[in-house]
């Protein structure tokens, strides 16, 4: 069994708030694209030949609910654009690899207990949580359970999809 979980994400902050397009440097933009999107392309490209040789595999890309809903006041354009790019990459790879019994899906977490969340202004986090029907942050285990499902052989008919794990904050 070969599976790959592409999990990388950064989002610059200034005093706990997002960096606006006007205030962002080109270097910051390019760094976010490199970490969040290019890394998933490169790691996928590296593992695909092994998966093709075995004629089986699972690639799961971590995107974000930010790529699927109206941007709020927590996340900036660089993060949204990079995570939306991951959804496009996921769909294209799903089509390219389907005939090799390789599925490619994305998981789109909502606000989750993580180091990145520690950089967000507490007032913004509290304000956002009031809108989440489940009423809590996601946990790493919530995300891990979604990954285990998509990595399992029983999910072989699911490909090219984005699974929202966000407590009901975004319902597609």
Residues labelled as active-site residues:
79
For residue 48, count other CB atoms closer than 10 A to its CB.
20
Give the SS3 label for residue 84.
helix
Indicate the burial class of 75 (C-beta count within 10 angstroms; 0-12, 13-18, 19 or more).
Answer: buried
By C-alpha distance, which of 128, 85, 84, 88 is closest to 110?
128
Q: Are 75 and 131 in contact (CB under 8 A)?
A: no
| Stated length of the chain | 172
Q: In the numeric block, which tokens belong to residue 115? A: 């180091």
């Amino acid at each position: 069994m070969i599976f790959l979980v592409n999990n990388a994400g950064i989002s610059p902050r200034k005093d706990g708030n997002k960096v606006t397009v006007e205030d962002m440097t080109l270097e910051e933009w390019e760094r976010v694209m490199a970490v969040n999107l290019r890394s998933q392309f490169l790691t996928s490209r590296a593992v695909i030949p092994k998966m093709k040789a075995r004629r089986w595999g699972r690639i799961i890309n971590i995107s974000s609910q930010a790529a699927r809903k109206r941007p709020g006041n927590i996340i900036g354009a660089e993060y949204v654009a990079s995570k939306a790019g991951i959804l496009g990459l996921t769909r294209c790879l799903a089509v390219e690899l389907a005939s090799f019994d390789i599925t490619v899906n994305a998981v789109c977490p909502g606000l989750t207990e993580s180091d990145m969340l520690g950089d967000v202004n507490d007032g913004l986090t509290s304000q956002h949580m009031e809108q989440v029907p489940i009423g809590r942050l996601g946990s790493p285990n919530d995300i891990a359970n979604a990954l285990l499902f998509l990595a399992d052989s029983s999910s072989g008919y699911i490909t090219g999809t984005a699974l929202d794990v966000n407590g009901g904050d975004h319902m597609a």
